[in-house]
Amino acid sequence: MNENMLKNSRGGGNLSKLNLESPNLTSQYIDKIGQLFPEVLTESRDENGRLQQAINFDKLKDLLSHQITEGRETYEFTWVGKRTAMAEAAKPTSKTLRPDLDESVDFEKSSNVFITGDNLEVLKILQESYLGKIDMIYIDPPYNTGKDFVYSDKFQKTQEELDDDMGLRDEEGRQVVGLTKNEKSSARYHSDWLNMMYPRLRLARNLLKDSGVIFISIDDNEQANLKALCDEIFGEENFVANLARKVMEGGKSDSKGIAIEHEYCLVYLKKHGRELNKKTSERLSHYNKKDDFFNERGYYYLKPLENGGLGYVKSLDYPIQGPDGQDIYPGGVYGDNGYRWVWGRAKFLNALELGMIEFVKSQKDSSKYKVYYKIYEKVDTNGNKSERTLPYSSLYLDGFTNRQAVNEIKKLFNNKRYFDYPKPSNFIKEAIKMSADVNSLVLDFFAGSATTADAVMQLNAEDGGNRKYILCTLDEAVADKSPAKEAGFETIDQISRERIRRAAAKIRDEQPDKAAELDLGFKAYRLDSSNFKDVTHKPGETRQQNLFDEVSNIKEGRSDLDILLQVMLSWGLELSDTIEKRVIEGVTVYDVAEGGLLATFSDHVPDGVIRVMAQEKPLRAIFRDSSFKTSAEKINLTEIFKELSPSTKVKVV
């Protein structure tokens, strides 16, 4: 059988399998270099002997000879294991996320996401679906105090490897005379932490929008190293500020007699540019929108015109005509329902004439509108020039302490203390407000006590926003004999999800009218191995006893929804996309993102079902490879889509 016949018999013509690994960033980097310098492209063999594209670095050095520096006397930030950490960031993963319906709240409708698992693997998985889509990242990583390092060190080296990397051996392998190391402060202590942080921050940067901002809390243990690391990953020119937050009253004296009362939060932009960062106060402020009046009025932000906390006033309960001609009342109906407009009719009409009113469709009901007014940098609501508001301060002194954060959570959990060092929600709210708008997507991949989710929900309740969050945390075991253990919690992520549920319930109890418009749920996922068996073998590895095991390439116990989620992530769809389940001629078909993807994993898919799917002209269609027993059936599948929907990308798994 020749190569083409073999291809057709296995794949059904041009029907190919979907790649279920996360993106190979190294290959992408090679492609980009090749586009700039095609003459440096070459080939090498991988560990399995297959040819792959590679870079001839000698040629690249020749092309850039005047800009290349060699030798030790160059300015750089390095540590033991850095090269391995850089390679780890680019290495793909075959792992996936599995939906956890029992732990979710309103799984089918919510756009919020809570993920349990190692955030390095999760960040790799998210590369395809969320590349350049995140508005703001807040993380509170381990501070490397010697007590809180919970992420396993994948870069641990022997003493001999450490000496080699640190240049402590000569070319013949002998220990270099005159060089010593301080074991307590050796490269291993800080390098382990840096090796953990480097690939995570590198992948996180990929997920940020060009206008995105990242906030990283830290203390004195690693603040200096984190600053140097972020200067390298994000660029020194994108450094915004090193915020200082007072974390405790009085503080405890360290061994040098200084009471340490504060810690830090480093702030970086994704991309430096004239429009994105003319001034820090323009980029990082409430003022983050532009309109036709930008040149004379500057940036603006939106505030709801209705308010439910000022007391009802009949003269402030008048109809406003929306874009569709329908009347809009505060709170949705006329009468004393606790809501009112914040302005009288005359002031509203004046602002409307000045272009300072904006109508925004309700997220819960797209047939209804909400009324917002614009607050500009340079003019007030009467059109008069006003002084620009002061920029945000780098000091957070009162109202942002850890004690307040602990008390905030204790109120949700019947006065029980489950977290020692949570962050106050009002601090994260400030970070979100200064860096993202009301429709932003917020990521926290060191989620811990889930304060970020609480902050997002609180802000949405305050201003009617539609911010969404993606959280990730480990299922780290709670300490034995701790209050959390006694309350029945086994892992940190269990407490985190319960905190979100209770914070949402608090909003429903205190602001029931606003809560009805908010997304207070979340989709829960867990990191797991691929849903698919590794049934690829090198020549001579297949054994007769394995043949029956490889009839299906799907692992036991994996559901259609598990498979669908892995397909969605591999194909760049988002975890929050809608999933509609339908039955066509007895076959279950999933419609993701309203035609973004049609999928079925049935053992047999009749031609009639294929035709119905093709007639809907989805962007993508996916089937199980084993659903088609012969190459003729696969070719028939391809031909049906070629006839009815030639632009649809059709693949099998």
Residue of 194, 219, 227, 221 whose CA lies nearest to 421 = 219
pLDDT for position 456: 97
Helix, strand, coil tally for the chain in percent (to 5): 35, 20, 45
pLDDT for position 276: 41
Q: What is the CA radius of gyration of the chain?
A: 28
Partners of residue 371 on adjacent β-strands: 359
- Would you state the structure tokens that stand for residue 275, as one six-digit string? 């429009």
Q: Which three-class secondary structure state does DSSP give residue 287?
A: coil
pLDDT for position 614: 97
pLDDT for position 189: 73
- Would you state the structure tokens that stand for residue 606, as one six-digit string? 């009749």
| CA–CA distances in Å: residue 451 to residues 111, 406, 445, 498 | 18, 11, 12, 12
| CA–CA distances in Å: residue 121 to residues 140, 472, 527 | 18, 11, 8
d(CA 367, CA 154): 52
Written in H, E and C, the secondary structure of 312-342 is CCHHHCCCEECCCCCEECHHHCCCCCCCEEC
The owner of tokens 């200096």 is 224
**pTM of structure:** 0.74
Q: Which three-class secondary structure state does DSSP give residue 594?
A: coil
pLDDT for position 602: 93
Alpha-carbon dihedral angle through residues 97, 99, 100, 106, given to the nearest 10 degrees: 130
First to last CA, the chain: 24
Angle, CA of 563, 100 and 567, to the nearest 5°: 20
Angle, CA of 438, 444 and 284, to the nearest 5°: 45
d(CA 74, CA 93): 34
pLDDT for position 21: 79
pLDDT for position 199: 96
Mean pLDDT, each 10-residue run in order, the chain (653 residues): 37 67 78 75 72 75 61 73 90 94 96 97 96 96 72 47 45 38 50 92 96 94 95 92 86 67 93 50 59 81 82 88 93 86 90 92 83 82 53 77 90 88 91 88 96 96 92 91 90 96 96 91 96 60 45 86 95 93 95 96 94 96 91 92 95 91
* Contact in structure between 287 and 377 (CB atoms under 8 Å): yes
